[in-house]
């Protein structure tokens, strides 16, 4: 009897990777999913933080896809390793800070490592030639295969017929004739295939799979790097960029102002790591201060804090300033008038 072959499928949570896995499963191959958490994935972080988003049903799409397919899913934390991909992408960035080609190479390479450790036979991705301008072009497909080290162990079931034969096809582990030849940006072939498989509920991320394609998010990341004077980050930085209003009145410090209660609760968790400010005479948001402020800066930060609370029109607001060691002092300030907060302070 033929040995059942095993494939590891990169599952992003979108339709293409789901269809790719399904196509190969239909051929009797044992498939398990792998999903990489880079820190920038759009998986409900802001939903988890913001109260206003709580009403929306929230699910992790990769887990959901795996459940629909009836396969195991291995979620791998690659936060540390991913830093090098984002900070020094060999192939550069896309429209924002998205290093898509390096990212793909990295993920396929990690999948290859997983394959070796777990004794699997080949790798599946949902890539389609011409689907994405940076990472899914005809000439980038061999680059991903080669530079990831996966070479012909990498099968793209949705466009395999337009690519050279891979090992699983040559060995007869999968039948090339039953693979597909999708090209281009149209989603119609995928939607037809989904219908054929009886899949009617799937997520279709508009831009891409992560915050690195979001222009507002990446502007904050660029600002962080400029302020630090170096392109580096920790997971907490990445998380905090998703929360609150970010206001930079001077190069040496910025403020993160909670926009609502859920964000305030989330920012509370960071009070030991940052100076924090809150109005005590009136209701107002929790504000974190990131940087090294002078006494004057602190006074300005307190005035801005007062501006975002219910005392914004009051003559005087008392603002408590808590330093990282837990020492608190209360300063009376006049809220900064709206007109005195220039637009370019908002990051």
Stretch that binds another protein, among 68-76, 84-92, 126-134, 186-194 (CB under 8 A): 68-76
Residue whose CB is less far from another protein, 167 or 239: 239
- Rg of the chain in Å (alpha carbons): 24
> Are 155 and 170 in contact, with CB atoms under 8 Å apart?
no
Beta strands, E only, the chain: 6-10, 30-37, 73-77, 122-124, 154-155, 245-250, 253-257, 275-279, 287-291, 317-322, 328-333
Q: How far is the CB of 234 from ligand SF4 (least distance, A)?
A: 19
Residue whose CB is less far from ligand SF4, 9 or 321: 9
Tell me which residues in 269-328 interact with another protein (CB under 8 A).
Answer: 269
Q: Is 219 in the site for another protein (CB under 8 A)?
A: no
What values do phi and psi take at 88, rounded to 5?
-125, 60
Q: How far is the CB of 34 from another protein (least distance, A)?
A: 12
Residue whose CB is less far from another protein, 11 or 101: 11
Q: Is 74 in the site for another protein (CB under 8 A)?
A: yes
Among ligand SF4, another protein, none, what binds residue 210 when CB lies within 5 to 8 Å by partner kind? ligand SF4
Q: Is 17 in the site for ligand SF4 (CB under 6 A)?
A: no
Tell me which residues in 179-218 interact with another protein (CB under 8 A).
Answer: none
Residue whose CB is less far from another protein, 77 or 340: 77
Exactly one of 71, 129, 240, 267 binds another protein (CB under 8 A); that residue is 71
d(C-alpha 182, C-alpha 130), whole Å:
9
d(C-alpha 264, C-alpha 273), whole Å:
15
The residue count for binding another protein (CB under 8 A) is 29
d(C-alpha 304, C-alpha 289), whole Å:
11
Exactly one of 23, 35, 61, 98 binds ligand SF4 (CB under 6 A); that residue is 98
**Could you count the other beta carbons within 10 Å of the beta carbon of residue 186?**
12
Residue whose CB is less far from another protein, 30 or 176: 30
DSSP-H helix ranges across 255-314: 261-268, 295-307
Long-range contacts of 222-227 (CB under 8 A, 24+ apart): 222/97, 223/248, 223/254, 223/347, 226/251, 227/251, 227/252, 227/254, 227/291
Residue whose CB is less far from another protein, 91 or 271: 271
Residue whose CB is less far from ligand SF4, 105 or 319: 105
Exactly one of 150, 210, 300, 319 binds ligand SF4 (CB under 6 A); that residue is 210
Kindly state the DSSP code that residue 211 receives in the 8-state scheme: G
Tokens for 231, please give them: 């392109």
Instruction: Name the site residues for ligand SF4 (rule: CB under 6 A).
Output: 98-100, 103-104, 135, 208-210, 212-213
């Amino acid at each position: 009897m033929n040995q059942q072959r095993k494939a590891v499928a990169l599952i992003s949570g979108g339709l293409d990777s789901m269809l790719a896995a399904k196509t190969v499963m239909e051929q009797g191959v044992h498939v398990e999913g792998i999903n990489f958490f880079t820190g920038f994935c759009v998986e409900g972080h802001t939903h988890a933080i913001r109260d206003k988003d709580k009403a929306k049903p929230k699910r992790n799409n990769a887990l959901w896809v795996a459940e629909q397919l009836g396969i195991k899913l291995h979620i791998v934390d690659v936060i540390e390793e991913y830093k090098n991909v984002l900070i020094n992408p060999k192939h550069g960035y896309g429209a924002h800070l998205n290093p898509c080609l390096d990212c793909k190479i990295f993920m396929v390479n990690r999948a290859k490592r997983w394959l070796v450790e777990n004794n699997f036979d080949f790798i599946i991705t949902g890539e389609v030639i011409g689907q994405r301008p940076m990472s899914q072009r005809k000439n980038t497909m061999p680059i991903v295969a080669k530079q990831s080290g996966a070479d012909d162990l990498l099968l793209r079931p949705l466009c395999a017929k337009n690519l050279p034969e891979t090992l699983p096809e040559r060995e007869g582990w999968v039948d090339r004739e039953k693979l597909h030849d999708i090209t281009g940006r149209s989603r119609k072939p995928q939607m037809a295939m989904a219908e054929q498989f009886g899949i009617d509920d799937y997520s279709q991320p508009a831009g891409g799979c992560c915050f690195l394609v979001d222009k507002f998010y990446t502007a904050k990341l660029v600002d962080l790097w400029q302020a630090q004077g170096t392109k580096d980050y920790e997971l907490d930085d990445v998380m905090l960029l998703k929360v609150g209003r970010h206001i930079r009145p001077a190069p040496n410090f910025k403020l993160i102002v909670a926009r609502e209660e859920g964000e305030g609760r989330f920012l509370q968790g960071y009070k030991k790591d940052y100076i924090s400010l809150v109005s005590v005479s009136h209701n107002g948001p929790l504000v974190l201060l990131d940087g090294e402020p002078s006494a004057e800066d602190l006074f300005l930060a307190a005035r801005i804090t007062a501006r975002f609370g219910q005392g914004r029109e009051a003559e005087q607001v008392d603002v408590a300033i808590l330093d990282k060691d837990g020492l608190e002092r209360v300063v009376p300030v006049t809220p900064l008038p709206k007109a005195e907060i220039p637009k370019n302070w908002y990051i």
